[in-house]
Structure 1
Amino acid sequence: MAGTVERMTAYIKARIDRGTLEPGNKLPPTRALMHQFDLSDNAVYRGIALLKAEGYVTSQQGKGVFVADRRALIAGTERVQGITRPGEEIHHKHSIRTEAPAWVAEHLGDGECVNRARTVRRGEAITEASQSWVHLDVVAVVPELDEPRPCNPTWQAVYQERSGNAVRVVHKAFRARIATPEDREALELEPEPAEPAAVAVVRNVYVTGDRVIGVGEAVYPPDGDITVP
């Protein structure tokens, strides 16, 4: 019976987490992984792409795949405060009123909300493409949410300052997925390569008191240097 990508990635991640595979160690070649886990070459490529997106491994052209030196993600409270890394620039893309997608409505509730999109750029490369879905109650306090321009530094920080209500991140979900056409467009990636590429996805839920006021999703490109600790 054929193996699964999930089994291969779980095995490799467990070895890295336990320290039996250390940063800089080289992973077995594709053919060896195919034999060990009874997978096709495409399935192994897909598994490696997912491991890259989660920050477990990195590839070096012509040399192979190596265990990565994982770094902490700037997220949660720091992103609420508008903190970026040196050399990063935030570019606002749009602010529109829309119906909440199903996964957002599970947290925010059904109905209309404000969808805001932005990118974080370092030089010519986009290092993050993110969206927020914000409850209309917040717009009463931060009316510029309806305007096609950024809030300085973030809508969460502005709402917190004006309302006096602390905004915190109560839930952060991390996963990897094979890049969708929408992901590739947002990150300005080249057309789909022969080998599948994965992106890292972080979802946050923003709360004040006991109320959810916003939901966010950030997408990070393949081979990015941002991982969840």
Structure 2
Amino acid sequence: MRLNQKSLEKDQLKVDKLMKPYQGKLVSELKRGFLQNYSQDTKASFAVLARRMFGISDNHLSLDSSEKPLILKTIRVTGNDQPAENMSFFEVRFDEWLEADSWHETMLYQYFYDTQFVFQVFQQFPSGLRVPDNQMTFKRALVWQMPDYDLEHGLKKLWLDTCHLIKTNQIRIVPKKQKTGKIIYRNNLPKSKDNTVCHLRPGGKNGKDVIMLPSGQEIARQRLWLNKQYVNDVIL
């Protein structure tokens, strides 16, 4: 269900109240309080930390004022106002994209139309030097839903461009040899330079994790990603 601006603002106030005690604190300090029994110290530990801060066990956050759960995602921002990371979502189901009678019937549209998110932002404030993750600071938690304009333009354009390439058999998969001798395969699916909102990138277990396109071509499993500059514009 699409939330109006007042509902989003109400959710934001609730989240601000919950997260206010932690704003400005170093990740190392937050980990001592929330991850005492968590042995791993990896990128994934940010997601665990974010959940612990909200007192939840998965990525679904329920608020009294919210009409449905919000999806919790973490973002790490470097210093000097550099863009955040590309944000990964779900595996692309090309068959579903091609079978949909219209844009509004696709799972891609319905997911971003219906879903609200809470972005937990951890930022590196010192300038010039890249600091370890534990020295990053919790900045804020932002309640967000993709604007209608971005749904109907950037996200829709990705769907249209991808379907056109597949339907017209224009997908190109080119092997490229790296300096190490490893062979990787490049393709011409929409990249971040082609779309201001999102792009496709491989997201399988390894290079052998492939799927079959309707043309009979094998291609690495693809995931949807929001562009890092787009994410940066949302959170800063």
TM-score (structure 2 length as normaliser): 0.30
Higher helix share: 2
Higher strand share: 1
TM-score (structure 1 length as normaliser): 0.30
